[in-house]
Homo-oligomer: A and B are copies of this chain.
Amino acid sequence: MNFELSPKAVKYQRQLQDFMQAHVYPVEQDYKQQLEQASNRWSTPPLMTKLKALAREQGLWNLFIPEQFKTFGGVGLSNLEYAPLAELMGRVLWAPEVFNCNAPDTGNMEVLLKYGSAKHQARWLRPLLEGEIRSAYAMTEPQIASSDATNIQCSITREGDNYTVNGRKWFITGAMHENCKIFIVMGKSDPTNPNRHQQQSQILVPADAAGVEIIRPLSTLGYDDAPLGHAEVRFNKVKVPKENLLLGEGRGFEIAQGRLGPGRIHHCMRLIGCAQRALELGCIRANERQTFGKLIGEHQSVREALAQSYTEIQQARLLTLATADAIDKKGAKEARDLIAAAKISVPVMAQAVIDRVMQIHGAGGLSDDWFLAEAFNYARYCRLADGPDEVHMMSLGKQLIKRYSQEPPHG
């Protein structure tokens, strides 16, 4: 065992730190201002465009791309090497996009890398890798409990050389953005298939196809997450050529599974970045202000809150790194217990840490003068994104019972 980062990871970590320090932290208020003053809330703030160019110039671009797809870009990092970089990016909520490493585009690019045809890749993956367009992943539906993917009702029906996509989706992150050009849509192509995991397919739907209707933006805890946003979208009998189907009919569930492993870890690492930054802000604040004759940081309960937070962050970071390593070495399927463990523990940890630090900041901690409230919202949201934690606990618990009850290892 060796708990030190690889030299390659360290190199990029330093470079990224420098970049954040020089170019991102100083403009956080400016970014917010540009967003607030934009005539279109769903457009790219000029600052972002500038920073993207800069990041790309410095080779900090598409770092998320796994080694095996290195020909498509990136610098050939393993998940384990990428994880601390995602953490750094996570310290500013909009920073990942600077490096073309933001959700849901990373996940969508991975789908196209793994499951897209050469034509799909030329048409959609390339501009995504260039950061020219944005994409959305349309899975969750408002009328049913989407945490059980077999509930999905959106239909994908073959008619001649086309498929017709019909259904309603919501919480489609990124769909509000003016540059969002492509949806990956999960629907049912074979709703009566006795194998409930072969009823689904995934298909590419251009945002400008006839019948694609953006109904409204949705907020979470008061945030609309502009300029990406979470949209409610209706696919009104949208026709797309049959070539737009990914991988093959009935393989939608398989693609969904394949997409989620690294994706969840990326969320986790970004949330660790949020929690770590919150901890640092808490420490700074604790040393700035006085109550009842001493610094806030001299009150034992504040010290305990910070010590507890540090401990939880360390544990979460190590778990996420170990999970990334397992994905690298054994693949997402074999690493599924760890992936579930990270998914069910890191967002809730980040929420708890940020909650404590908000309390240390007083009412201001809930405002947008710090990044705390928005990061809290991100953490809370991730307890539901990619399925509510409870679903992952169900699978993990089931799996554990099976393993240990069948072959009690020792004693």
Contact = CB atoms under 8 A, between A and B. Distances in A.
Given A144-B289, A300-B390, A405-B284, A319 B308 contact: no
A279 interface: yes
B367 A397 contact: no
Contacts of A369: 218
A288 to B, nearest CB: 8
Interface string A348-379: 00000001001100111111110001101100
Nearest to A220: B366
A376 B221 contact: yes
A394 interface: yes
Contact of A279 (B24, B315, B404): B404
A410 B344 contact: no
A340 to B, nearest CB: 7
A interface, size bucket: 35 or more
Contacts of A24: 411
A281 B372 CA distance: 29
B170 A364 contact: yes
Question: Quick one: which of A283, A307, A310, A341 has the most chain B CB within 10 A?
Answer: A307
B301 A304 contact: yes
Interface string A293-307: 000110111111111
Contact of A283 (B219, B290, B325, B403): B403
Contact of A1 (B17, B220, B325): B325
Contacts of A409: 280
A53 interface: no
B301 A390 contact: yes
A405 B145 contact: no
Interface stretch (A59-67, A123-131, A146-154, A181-189): A146-154
A158 interface: no
A300 B300 contact: yes
Number of copies: 4
Contact of A362 (B146, B290, B292, B312): B146
A160 interface: no
A25 interface: yes
Nearest to A16: B410
A310 B390 contact: no
A135 interface: no
Interface string A308-319: 101110111011
Interface of A: 1-6, 9, 17, 20-21, 24-25, 28, 80, 88, 91-92, 140, 142, 144-148, 151, 170-171, 218-223, 230, 277, 279-280, 283-284, 286-292, 296-297, 299-308, 310-312, 314-316, 318-319, 321-322, 325-326, 337-338, 340-341, 344-345, 355, 358-359, 362-369, 373-374, 376-377, 380-381, 383-385, 388-394, 396-398, 400-405, 408-411
28 contacts: A1-B6, A21-B410, A140-B362, A144-B290, A148-B291, A218-B363, A218-B369, A219-B368, A221-B222, A221-B366, A230-B363, A277-B411, A280-B410, A280-B411, A283-B403, A284-B404, A284-B405, A287-B405, A297-B397, A301-B304, A301-B393, A304-B390, A306-B397, A308-B344, A310-B341, A315-B341, A359-B383, A366-B380
